[in-house]
Amino acid sequence: MTRSLDIEPVDATFGAVVKGVRLTELDDATWRDLHAAWIEYALLIFPDQFLGREDQIAFAKRFGDMEFDMAELSNIKRSGKLRREEDNDDVLKVLKGNMGWHADSTYMPLQAKGAVFSAEVVPSLGGHTGWADMRAAYDALDDPMRERVNNLTAHHSLHYSQAKAGLSPSSDKEYNGYGFHDGPVPLRPLVKTHPETGRKSLLIGRHAHNIPGMEPEESEQFLQDLVDFACQPPRTYHHDWRAGDAVIWDNRCLLHRATPWDMTQPRVMWHSRIKGDPVSEAALG
């Protein structure tokens, strides 16, 4: 039996809170409605889900094959002790790097399609996740800039973005370094077309660098100016997490970032990444 979705848009150009549905109990008709809402809003937020590991993976797999099933993003060591900020170990470097606006896996041969993210333990203050609507950002460009970006590309690298932030991995490699590969640096257009909606969006963020035809300093400034323009209200939304919340976002048209929190408090989040379609998400060449 199909239940209509209770959808409440957030105060932004995208995104909605969905209530009255259990992600572990979706019938096919409700799933189709949910998928259509995801395509429309790009970010769906589900309060009070408390997904287990297998539940989260199963929900993510309804959207496509997995790039990886589940990864923990946490400032708690395996020993149970909190990571000390002054140690600045490789895990903390990745957590801090994620505080810059980015899209997932643009530094890999295939950009991710989307992601499911859920909250297990949240701090009392901070630790929000922000998203930014690159469809609305593209639409907001003036005509000369839109024409210019339509013809530009940029390389994408996690080595680059972490080094620029002063967060390169240590030689001991405590963090095993997903994305810190030594293969070719992907080249991607600055404007991409969504394979399901046909809408154009900006593909920028902290991993993007070295626009062919520009000097490095010019490229860096140009890309930073685009991020500064794109990632501002009403094109942004920052979610104040509650334990049990789950979200899914469309990585093909949104950027996202973490925000700081008091790292003397624990924060445990779970990330499931959905693999991109090679037809639409492959790097150029």
Domains and their CATH numbers in the chain: 6-276 (3.60.130.10)
- Beta bridge partners, 188, equal 154
pLDDT attached to residue 174: 61
Regarding pTM above 0.85, the answer is: yes
pLDDT exceeds cutoff 90 at 144: yes
Q: Would you place residue 153 in the very low, low, confident or very high pLDDT band (cuts 50, 70, 90)? A: very high
Average pLDDT over residues 118-133: 98
Least confident of 43-52, 79-88, 214-223: 79-88
Given this model, what pLDDT does residue 1 score? 32
3-class SS at 237? Answer: strand
Tell me: pLDDT of 172 over 90.
no
Per the CB < 8 A criterion, the answer to whether 41 and 101 are in contact is no
pLDDT of 2 over the 50 cut:
no
Q: Once rounded to an integer, what is the mean pLDDT over residues 59-68?
A: 98
Instruction: Work out the average pLDDT over 122-133.
Output: 97
Residue 3 pLDDT level (bands cut at 50, 70, 90): low
For the chain, give the mean pLDDT.
95
Q: 136-150: buried (b, 16+ CB within 10 Å) or exposed (e) per residue? A: bbbebbeeeeeeebe
Half-sphere exposure of 73 (CA within 13 A, CB side): 22
Give me the pLDDT at residue 183, please. Answer: 83
Long-range contacts of 47-53 (CB under 8 A, 24+ apart): 47/17, 47/19, 47/242, 47/244, 47/245, 48/242, 48/244, 48/245, 49/22, 49/23, 49/24, 49/118, 49/244, 49/245, 49/246, 50/243, 50/244, 51/23, 51/24, 51/118, 51/246, 51/270, 53/270
DSSP per-residue letters across 50-82: ---HHHHHHHHHTTS-EEEEEEEEESB-TTSPB
Instruction: Give the lowest-confidence range in 11-20, 36-45, 132-141, 175-184.
Output: 175-184
Q: Is 149 helix (H, G, I), strand (E, B) or coil?
A: helix
Tell whether the model's pLDDT for residue 173 goes beyond 80.
no
Q: Using CA atoms in the order 142, 144, 150, 154, what is the torsion angle rounded to 10 degrees?
A: -90
Check whether 4 has a pLDDT greater than 80.
no
The pLDDT value recorded for residue 38 is: 98
